[in-house]
Amino acid sequence: MEIGDIVMYQSFFAMMIGSVTSILNVYPNLVKGFESLHSVTEVLLSDETEEYKGKVKPEKFSGSYQFKGVSFSYKDSDRHVLDDFSLDVKPGETIAFVGESGSGKSTILNLIIGFYKPQSGSILIDGMPMSELSMSRYRQSLAIVLQNNILFSGSIRENITYGLPHISEEKLQRAVWMANLQDVIDSLPEGLDTKVGEHGGRLSGGQRQRIAIARALVRDPKIIILDEATSALDNASERHVQNAMEQLMQGRTTFIVAHRLSTVKNADRIIVLKKGKIVESGTYEQLLDMKGEFYKLKNM
């Protein structure tokens, strides 16, 4: 072969290798793009709507609940997460759900919020079937504090009053005081107008949690849902948040899910769940005296 042919072939080969390498580099972006497209399309073309389509809009809720023989299982699963679950809750009562993972605690909270509808049995709120209630009206009486609450990158004031443009300064200050947040506000250079950073990155876990509690308090809800609200905190932060939660729970129907049993000591009733059924019910001291499932969980 002539030298010119060898140089030409080498050049062609280098071009081919370069093109293949470029395609390999672009491939992950293409895959990511197709996945994103699939996710967006799934939402846009979804024909699933709200489980509940009730229209009744009561003026206010007192917060009484009746679960009558409620059974629930997830789609494509034969196993019942809840099986013939029955419970009466009085207005202003604090109910704590404890149990091993998979016992149905979070499912009960999702049923209370109205994300799921039981396959059998019924849930009554203030004596009215949940299926007849307007979910938008009902959820205005709910406040939810989760383990990891979402904070936006605005100020503390904006995060607390999110969705309430006309809230009074007096009501805001009261929520801050009740959420045990005043010391945090005083220590910050711009007080309530201090920017919290993306996802509240400039604040500690305990401070973020107290802002979430203030956000709940400022709405003056009748029903509170606390889902593992202190499980990600250290002992010092937990004490502050616990004090704030006690203010939040006063005079309101409260449902608590907790793995840390110290957070449910003051509940009016503790419901111990196992495989979707109530196995024990009572106060903290009563359940310890029984030396049953709750006693085992406490020792663990």
> Which is more confidently placed, 275 or 87?
87
Instruction: Determine the pLDDT at residue 206.
Output: 76
Q: Which CATH number fits domain 65-299: 3.20.20.450, 3.20.20.70, 3.20.20.140, 3.40.50.300?
A: 3.40.50.300
What are the structural domain ranges in the chain? 1-48, 65-299
227-269 residue pLDDT tens? 877 665 666 666 766 777 777 778 889 898 877 777 788 888 9
Q: Which residues contact 183 (CB under 8 A, 6 or more apart)?
A: none
> Of the ranges 90-94, 201-205, 239-243, 246-250, which is most confident?
90-94
pTM beyond 0.85: the answer is no
- Residue 76: C-alpha distances to residues 73, 79, 80, 184, 290 (Å): 9, 9, 11, 47, 38
Tell me the two tokens of residue 251.
């005079």
In whole angstroms, give the CA distance from residue 169 to residue 229: 27
